C-alpha cells in the first residue's frame, strides 16, 4: 500500500491508539477516584490544610478523588537538596485540586512537574531595554508557573500560607490559577469559560475591578485584594482567586460582582463553607 491509502491507514491506526489510551486513562481515573482515602491522610489534611476543614462532606469526598488522580499523574521534584515527602505531596495536591472540584475528568493536563524549594529562591531575569542591550537582575520568588508544564514553590511559603489562611494569600492556589489561565495558550487573566457568552461579562467585571484596585493603591487605601494583583490582569486573576478561597466573606462583601464571577467559574461558594 502506498500513497494516500497508506497515509489514511496510518492516521486510522493513530486514531485507534489514541482512543484506546483515552479509554484506559479514563478507567484508571475512575478507579483512583473511587479509592478511599487513608485515615492518616484525612487527619493530616484536617490539621495542615484549613481550607480542607471548611469543606462540606460531599465536597471532601470529591476532593479525595481528585487528589488520588493528581498524585498518580504529577511528578514532584525537590530542589536545593529538599527531600520531598508524601506529606508535602498531599498538602500541595489538596489545595491545587480545590480549583478543579467540579471538573469531572480534568486534572491540569498541561502540567507534569511540581518543583519545590526549601524557601524563597533566586532566579535570573533578563529584560531587553533597547537595541541589543539586555538588563540582567536576580529576583527572589516564592513561586511561579511555567508554560512548559511546571510549577515552582517555596515550601516555606506553602507552610506559612496554610498556617494563616485568613491573611488571604495562598501560593499554591496562586500558581495553579496561572495554570488554568494559560489553558487557552495565553496568560492574560481570562481562562477558558464554560460558555462563550460569559466572556463579555468576565472582561467587563475584571477590567473594572482591576482598575479600581490600581486606583485604591494610588490613593493609599487598604484593599481586601492583595496589592500584587495590580501588577497585571493575569496576576489580578490569580490574587483574586486566593481572596475568593481564603477570605470569601470579605470578598463577597467588598466585591460582590467579582465574587459572583469567580463563583460561576469555579462552581463553588466558599462563603457558605464557613
Closest CA to 98 of 51, 150, 35, 32: 51
Closest CA to 152 of 183, 178, 190, 185: 178
Assigned domain for 217 exists: yes
Query: Looking at 92-101, 142-151, 212-221, 259-268, which range is the least confident one?
Result: 142-151
Predicted confidence at residue 18, as pLDDT, reads 46
Assigned domain for 160 exists: no
Q: What does the pLDDT look like over 37-82, one tens digit per residue? A: 888 899 999 999 999 999 999 999 999 999 999 999 999 999 999 9
Task: Identify the CATH number of the domain in which residue 245 sits.
Answer: 3.40.390.10
Main-chain phi, psi angles of 114, to 5 degrees? -115, 115
Assigned domain for 31 exists: no
Assigned domain for 253 exists: yes
Predicted confidence at residue 165, as pLDDT, reads 78
Integer Cα distance of 220 and 213 in angstroms: 10
Q: How many domains does the chain have?
A: 1
Query: Looking at 93-102, 158-167, 213-222, which range is the least confident one?
Result: 158-167
Q: Which three cell numbers stand for residue 253?
A: 462583601
Assigned domain for 177 exists: no
Assigned domain for 272 exists: yes
Q: pLDDT-based confidence at 136, cuts 50/70/90?
A: low
Predicted confidence at residue 12, as pLDDT, reads 44
129 has a pLDDT exceeding 70: no
Q: pLDDT-based confidence at 3, cuts 50/70/90?
A: low
Integer Cα distance of 56 and 75 in angstroms: 29
Structural domain boundaries enclosing 199: 188-274
Assigned domain for 64 exists: no
Q: What does the pLDDT look like over 171-201, one tens digit per residue? A: 999 999 999 999 988 899 999 998 998 999 9
Q: What string of DSSP letters covers 73-85?
A: H-EEEE-TTPPP-
Predicted confidence at residue 14, as pLDDT, reads 43
Q: What does the pLDDT look like over 26-35, one tens digit per residue? A: 788 788 787 8
Predicted confidence at residue 23, as pLDDT, reads 73
Q: What does the pLDDT look like over 73-110, one tens digit per residue? A: 999 999 999 999 999 999 999 999 999 998 876 789 88
Q: Are 114 and 74 in contact (CB under 8 A)?
A: yes
Integer Cα distance of 50 and 170 in angstroms: 11
Q: pLDDT-based confidence at 164, cuts 50/70/90?
A: confident
Assigned domain for 252 exists: yes
Please tell me the pTM assigned to this model: 0.86
Amino acid at each position: 500500500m502506498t500513497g494516500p491509502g497508506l497515509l489514511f491507514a496510518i492516521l486510522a491506526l493513530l486514531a485507534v491508539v489514541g482512543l484506546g489510551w483515552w479509554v484506559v486513562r479514563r478507567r484508571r481515573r475512575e478507579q483512583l477516584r473511587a479509592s478511599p482515602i487513608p485515615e492518616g491522610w484525612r487527619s493530616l489534611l484536617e490539621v495542615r490544610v484549613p481550607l480542607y476543614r471548611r469543606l462540606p462532606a460531599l465536597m471532601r469526598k470529591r476532593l479525595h478523588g481528585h487528589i488520588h488522580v493528581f498524585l498518580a499523574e504529577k511528578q514532584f521534584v525537590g530542589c536545593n537538596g529538599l527531600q520531598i515527602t508524601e506529606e508535602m505531596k498531599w498538602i500541595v495536591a489538596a489545595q491545587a485540586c480545590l480549583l478543579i472540584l467540579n471538573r469531572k475528568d480534568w486534572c491540569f493536563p498541561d502540567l507534569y512537574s511540581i518543583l519545590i524549594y526549601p524557601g524563597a529562591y533566586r532566579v535570573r531575569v533578563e529584560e531587553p531595554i533597547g537595541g541589543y542591550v539586555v538588563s540582567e537582575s536576580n529576583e527572589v520568588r516564592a513561586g511561579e508557573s511555567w508554560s512548559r508544564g511546571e510549577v515552582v514553590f517555596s515550601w516555606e511559603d506553602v507552610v506559612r500560607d496554610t498556617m494563616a489562611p485568613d491573611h488571604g494569600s495562598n501560593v499554591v492556589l496562586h500558581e495553579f490559577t496561572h495554570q488554568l489561565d494559560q489553558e487557552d495558550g495565553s496568560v492574560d487573566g481570562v481562562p477558558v469559560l464554560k460558555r462563550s457568552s460569559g466572556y463579555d461579562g468576565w472582561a467587563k467585571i475584571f477590567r473594572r475591578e482591576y482598575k479600581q484596585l490600581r486606583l485604591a493603591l494610588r490613593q493609599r487605601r487598604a484593599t481586601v485584594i492583595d496589592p500584587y494583583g495590580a501588577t497585571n490582569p493575569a496576576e489580578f486573576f490569580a490574587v483574586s482567586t486566593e481572596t475568593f478561597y481564603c477570605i470569601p466573606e470579605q470578598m463577597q462583601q467588598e466585591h460582590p460582582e467579582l465574587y459572583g464571577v469567580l463563583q460561576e467559574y469555579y462552581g463553588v461558594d466558599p462563603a457558605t463553607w464557613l
